[in-house]
């Protein structure tokens, strides 16, 4: 893709409730974040163009358009892939798609670099979560638990993380601790690990860090299943909403199970 010392990227991440955008000309990075939802489709493209202009970049200069492929918000993933695909086709720019839970892990480690093991959790709505577990073996990432869809009470740490005398320290990153913190702490308290909780969403500047590592090391993305072809969302569930009856049953179940 070019000399890694002069890599230029545009990054789009909207797999959660936060729309995160970033652009980099290697010397400088522009970033933008806002609450996603209904605003995403109207804000995303204009803000990308503003960021590119601030860095004096045009699309022909980009080494890649980078996006979070999922799992995550159904609408957000479709929007990110559609915009990445449109920019790519319109300007002849390659695309790179990374697992959004890995993007969350990279985001968390940028804030807490003393850790090497990250449990990434995203709210999947309907009382479920998306979970992935990752280990940073500099400069690469190892996938210890591939992205999966779980009920919070079914969540488990990778076996290697809970072996006796492992003295493991785990950074737990979640975008909705206000909903899932009790379930997460109950799991971690039963395991022989030390942990820290950090609330955040996947960030576009983390996407750029992953893209730079991908371009610098051809083996970096082999295990990560980085998408280098047509931008395609990663869906782990076909349904996007519960019925009224299912929502009612979920509320009743929560009231029964919680003290």
Interval 227-243: pLDDT, tens: 999 999 999 987 544 43
Flag whether pLDDT at 143 surpasses 50.
Answer: yes
Number of CB atoms found within 10 A of residue 76's CB: 26
**Model pLDDT, residue 256:** 46
Give the pLDDT confidence of 71-126 residue by residue, as tens digits.
999 999 999 999 999 999 999 999 999 999 999 999 999 999 999 999 999 999 99
Do the strands 29-35 and 18-24 form a parallel or antiparallel pair, or are they unpaired?
antiparallel
**Model pLDDT, residue 2:** 47
**Model pLDDT, residue 5:** 57
- Measured CA to CA in angstroms, residue 187 lies from 21, 132, 181 at distances of 33, 15, 10
- Three-class SS state of 161: helix
**Model pLDDT, residue 110:** 97
Give the pLDDT confidence of 113-142 residue by residue, as tens digits.
999 999 999 999 999 999 999 999 988 999
Return mean pLDDT, the chain. 88
Q: Which of 169-173, 227-231, 237-241, 244-248 has the lowest mean pLDDT?
A: 244-248
**Model pLDDT, residue 237:** 86
**Model pLDDT, residue 258:** 47
Flag whether pLDDT at 55 surpasses 50.
Answer: yes
**Model pLDDT, residue 44:** 95
Alpha helices in the chain (DSSP H): 40-54, 74-91, 100-111, 177-189, 204-216, 244-257
Flag whether pLDDT at 222 surpasses 90.
Answer: no
Flag whether pLDDT at 1 surpasses 80.
Answer: no
Q: What's the pTM value of the predicted model, to 2 decimals? A: 0.89
Flag whether pLDDT at 176 surpasses 60.
Answer: yes
Task: Give Dmax over CA atoms of the chain in angstroms.
Answer: 58
User: How far apart are the C-alpha atoms of 245 and 247, rounded to whole Å?
Assistant: 5
The secondary structure of residue 160, as a DSSP letter, is G
Q: Region 9-23: what's the mean pLDDT? A: 96
| Residue whose structure tokens are 């390659």 | 94
Counting beta carbons within 10 angstroms of the beta carbon of residue 125, is it exposed (0 to 12), middle (13 to 18) or buried (19 or more)? middle
User: How far apart are the C-alpha atoms of 73 and 62, rounded to whole Å?
Assistant: 27
**Domains detected in the chain:** 4-99+202-216 (3.30.420.40), 101-199 (3.30.420.40)
Q: Are the beta carbons of 160 and 133 closer than 8 angstroms?
A: no
Residue with more model confidence, 112 or 168 = 112
Which strands form 18-24's sheet, in the order they lie side by side? 29-35, 18-24, 9-13, 64-70, 95-99
**Model pLDDT, residue 244:** 43
Give the pLDDT confidence of 199-209 residue by residue, as tens digits.
999 999 999 99
Percent of the chain with pLDDT over 70: 88
Flag whether pLDDT at 37 surpasses 80.
Answer: no
Flag whether pLDDT at 245 surpasses 80.
Answer: no
């Amino acid at each position: 893709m070019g000399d890694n010392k002069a890599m230029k990227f545009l990054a789009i991440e909207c797999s959660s409730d936060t729309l995160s955008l970033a652009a980099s000309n290697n010397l400088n990075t522009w970033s933008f974040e806002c609450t996603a939802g209904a605003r995403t489709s109207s804000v995303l493209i204009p803000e990308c163009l503003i960021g590119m202009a601030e860095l004096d970049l045009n699309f022909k200069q980009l080494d890649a358009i980078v996006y979070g492929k999922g799992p995550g918000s159904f609408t957000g993933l479709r929007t990110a892939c559609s915009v990445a695909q449109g920019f790519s086709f319109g300007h002849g720019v390659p695309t790179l798609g990374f697992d959004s839970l890995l993007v969350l892990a990279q985001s968390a480690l940028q804030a807490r670099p003393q850790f090497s093991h990250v449990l990434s959790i995203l709210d999947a709505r309907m009382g479920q979560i998306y979970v992935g577990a990752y280990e940073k073996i500099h400069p690469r990432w190892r996938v210890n638990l591939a992205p999966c869809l779980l009920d919070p009470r079914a969540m488990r740490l990778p076996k290697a993380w809970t072996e006796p005398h492992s003295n493991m320290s785990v950074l737990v990153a979640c975008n909705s601790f206000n909903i899932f913190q009790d379930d997460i702490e109950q799991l971690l308290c039963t395991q022989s690990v030390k942990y820290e909780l950090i609330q955040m969403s996947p960030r576009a500047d983390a996407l750029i860090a992953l893209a730079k590592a991908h371009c610098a090391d051809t083996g970096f993305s082999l295990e990560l299943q980085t998408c280098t072809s047509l931008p395609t969302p990663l869906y782990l569930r076909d349904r996007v909403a519960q019925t009224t009856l299912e929502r009612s049953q979920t509320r009743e179940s929560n009231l029964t199970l919680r003290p």
